[in-house]
Structure 1
Amino acid sequence: MSTTGTRVELFIGKGGVGKTTLACATAMAYARAGQRVLIASLDQAHSLGDALGFHFPHDPGTVTGIAKVLPDLDVIEVDSLALLEDRFRDVVRALSGTGHDHGIDLTALDPAELTGLPGVQELLMLVEITEFAGDDEWDVLVLDCPPSADMLRIITAPDTLLGYLERVWPPHARAMSTIGTDLRRAVLASTVERIVKAVTEVRDLLADHTRTGARLITVAERVAIAESERVRSAAALLGLRLDAVVVNKVLPAVPPPDDATHPAMQWYLNRRAEQLDVIDRLRYSLDGTPVLIAQHTGPEPVGLTSLAALSYAVVGDDPAPPRTTSGEPMVRWESGTGLQSVYALRMHLPVVDPATLRLGRVEDDLIVGADGVRRRVRLAPVLRRCTVDGAELDHGYLVVRFVPDPEVWPI
């Protein structure tokens, strides 16, 4: 077992880029290296079983369990609706018998009515994955995620929920409710505390750069360059480590043909040249992020035998990416003393379009938006007594400078 805990690898990308097959191949490479692996599908258009040539049993009203496909490789397709129904029953059971003369009777609700609430199902899936990561059963979790835009939105769900709960029912108010005389309110407060604890663990796992990373699966097409740049920017802003961009279905080199003028050969050589040009541009634009190549396999790799062959071609003998330290914003003192002090907050943010950069301040949070993604960054205690003095982009980093607020700065 890894000394830093179970590692988590997120595979993200658009549909049709072979994300699921590469996730399966990587999982098999980990298993071949002696790691205990669980590959989980979070994409509700589940194709994990299709790629593995494995049929998952689906019993209505039950949460699909974990199945073993190889000695060190387990698989699961996480059904968010079944999870919602299962967890909702637990909540209703906890609140039953506490009296509903006033307020809402939760037993009158149907779990399906909650599916429309933004982020509920996605959060339950992430909570389930975090529980898997906390077990001593696997060394690596490989996650076949929803398409990149959806997954990046899901990653914001923990902070969004925690921020909302803190505003509408602060921790001190919940604590008072747990020791009050209103039994129903006390049970509800305890339930919310359990939710907060679980969601906090999700947030911390996603932000832990020593354990969690993502791989963006794409193809060698020109539109992929801008998309990959935006995903890298969004991942940096959200605090998710992007390990690599994997370019799938790249045509392999061929020996010099006897007849290079044949139309089919001309098409092949021209298409490969276009792909290599895209890869060169990706490596230039994503300076610092590894760009890996997965060659076209010909027939679609389906089933354990084909995926095992692909696992050698994709990752070789060492599938694990290097681990880095936390990507959280760093704060340092720059100059001055007392009210003349200047502090700088520095965070990794390779913005694609600087015109999209937006900054705001809400109480103790700095709001940062760029390339269509927004994040609330909790300020360090010293910065909460400061005002923003300016900001700049500096070679892939956002630097925000603060000066003391005379009204709250200690004299």
Structure 2
Amino acid sequence: MFIGKGGVGKTTLACATAISLARSGERVLLASIDQAHSLGDAMGVNIPHDPGTTAGFKTVMDELDVIEIDTLALLEDKYRNTVKTLKVGTGHDHGIGAELTSLEPGELTGMPGVQELLGLAEIVELASDDQWDIVVVDCGPTADALRTLAAPDMFLAYLERIWPRHRRVASAIGIDIRQAVIVATVEKISSAVATVRDVLADHKRTGVRLITEPERVAVAEAARTRSAIALLGLRLDAVIVNKVLPPLDPPGEQVDGDAHPSARWYRNRRSEQLDVVESLEQSMSDVIVFTAQHTGPEPVGLSSLGALAYAVNAELADTDGSREEDATAPTVWLESGTGTESVYAMRIYLPLAAPSSLSLARAEDDLIVGADGARRRIRLTSVLRRCTVDAAELDGHNLIVRFRPDPKVWPK
């Protein structure tokens, strides 16, 4: 998945990576859930898509197909199918089923997270198709992408709080067919969202490439985004610094101090960019950081993207995968003591950009962690649910939270 700054630049890097993979013999699907729909523009191809319908596939070269997923059209299509299901049975036109079936598809577009969840679900469904070996995903801008990637956990957590599964199952038992259909529909949706969450959290299947630019403000944003990616439990493959100026002078050649002002500006600007890249490498020493040179003219079309693909592939050839710590989930262990004198610890991988942004809160059986503008609700293990939070500290890139048993609920 490609997220980050760069707009079309992010999309061109996703295209270049897909082309490089296809050239190596992999069967690749390049999919976009960025509603700017710039994938076809970058490729220089017309991706078939009739208004109001879900998108079709376009084969752009051997082993490479592309698709632009219109989540709005997908929402309307899925909703109509759901309404047809809910309209089974007669004589019970009341309650949540009647409220849902009375809505128009367009009224759902304002509901936060719905389109994002559907886009991710579509990607997961495509990834399970044996037609492709790899699915490269061009996500939306940074903030939109993070909301999208956080949506599955958020949806499942709120569903469980608002309508727990044991209550759903209990409400489906009886003679009310409509209620049983509603429960079955919710269970189907819940199962699909859980599958999306599990695929995102599977570090063997899913990784993120974060795109930034050689500007200090952009790099600062990238550091916060990296923290959010870790908090969401995702694997960060690499950070790509896009549009770095190539060297003006051949290696080893003397730099002419009396050169034209434009040449001096170019060298100074490149030097500033390299300083930013070096600073980024130092602050993210456990993550692969590589650069994509500025191509001059905008790389549009397979020919230009193909040249960029060679450059991207050459950079990656020098790496052996992500150096990011592989922590798919928080780790819990007994640190000391026994019984009510025990101390349990939970470690969460969290490379903070701004430690002062860290916040912790306990809500029933969940621990809510906030950092660098992101927030995650983490369901506590059964033993920690009987404990109270005792202390928390940062240990390098890890957050360590300690718990002590609550005598009121601790087994005796």
Instruction: Give the TM bin, normalised by the shorter chain.
Output: over 0.9
CA distance in 1, matches of 2:7, 2:177: 52
1:17–1:248 contact (8 Å) kept in structure 2? no
Corresponding residue for 1:297? 295
1:17–1:217 contact (8 Å) kept in structure 2? no
Q: In the alignment, does 2:204 pair up with 1:206? A: no
CA distance in 2, matches of 1:22, 1:169: 42
Of structures 1 and 2, the one with the larger relative CO (CA 8 A, separation 6+) is 1
Corresponding residue for 1:191? 185
Q: In the alignment, does 2:376 pair up with 1:378? A: no
Q: In the alignment, does 2:242 pair up with 1:248? A: yes
Corresponding residue for 1:165? 159
SS in 2 for 1:276: helix
1:208–1:326 contact (8 Å) kept in structure 2? no
Q: In the alignment, does 2:58 pair up with 1:70? A: no
Aligned 1:323-362 pairs, distance under 5 A: 325-362=326-363
Q: In the alignment, does 2:25 pair up with 1:34? A: yes
1:122–1:154 contact (8 Å) kept in structure 2? yes
Q: In the alignment, does 2:284 pair up with 1:286? A: yes
Taking structure 1 as reference, are residues 203 and 405 closer, same or farther at Cα in structure 2, changes over 3 Å only? same
CA distance in 2, matches of 1:244, 1:17: 19
Corresponding residue for 2:313? 315
* Higher alpha-carbon deviation: 156-165 or 310-319: 310-319
Q: In the alignment, does 2:100 pair up with 1:102? A: no
Tell me by how many angstroms 1:260 deviates.
Answer: 4.4
CA distance in 1, matches of 2:313, 2:64: 17
Letter in 2 for 1:26: T
Tell me by how many angstroms 1:383 deviates.
Answer: 1.0
Tell me by how many angstroms 1:17 deviates.
Answer: 6.4
1:210–1:325 contact (8 Å) kept in structure 2? no
Taking structure 1 as reference, are residues 211 and 15 closer, same or farther at Cα in structure 2, changes over 3 Å only? same
Which one of the candidate residues 82, 98, 116 is aligned to 2:73? Answer: 82
Taking structure 1 as reference, are residues 206 and 218 closer, same or farther at Cα in structure 2, changes over 3 Å only? same
Letter in 2 for 1:226: A
Taking structure 1 as reference, are residues 322 and 229 closer, same or farther at Cα in structure 2, changes over 3 Å only? closer
Query: How large is the RMSD of aligned CA atoms in angstroms?
Result: 1.7
CA distance in 2, matches of 1:44, 1:176: 40
Q: Deviations over 1:80-130 (max 9, x none)?
A: 111011101111111223234323254432100000111111111011011
Letter in 2 for 1:265: A
The answer for unaligned runs of 5 or more in structure 2 is none
1:207–1:326 contact (8 Å) kept in structure 2? no
Corresponding residue for 2:274? 276
Taking structure 1 as reference, are residues 321 and 42 closer, same or farther at Cα in structure 2, changes over 3 Å only? farther
Identity of aligned residues (%): 62
SS in 1 for 2:399: strand
Tell me by how many angstroms 1:259 deviates.
Answer: 6.7
CA distance in 1, matches of 2:174, 2:59: 48
Q: In the alignment, does 2:228 pair up with 1:234? A: yes
Number of residue pairs matched?
A: 402
Corresponding residue for 1:306? 304
Q: Deviations over 1:203-225 (max 9, x none)?
A: 11111111111111111111122
Tell me by how many angstroms 1:325 deviates.
Answer: 4.3
Corresponding residue for 1:4? none
TM-score, normalization: structure 2? 0.94
Corresponding residue for 1:7? none
SS in 1 for 2:402: strand
CA distance in 2, matches of 1:105, 1:363: 30
Letter in 1 for 2:332: V
CA distance in 2, matches of 1:259, 1:350: 42
2:55–2:69 contact (8 Å) kept in structure 1? yes
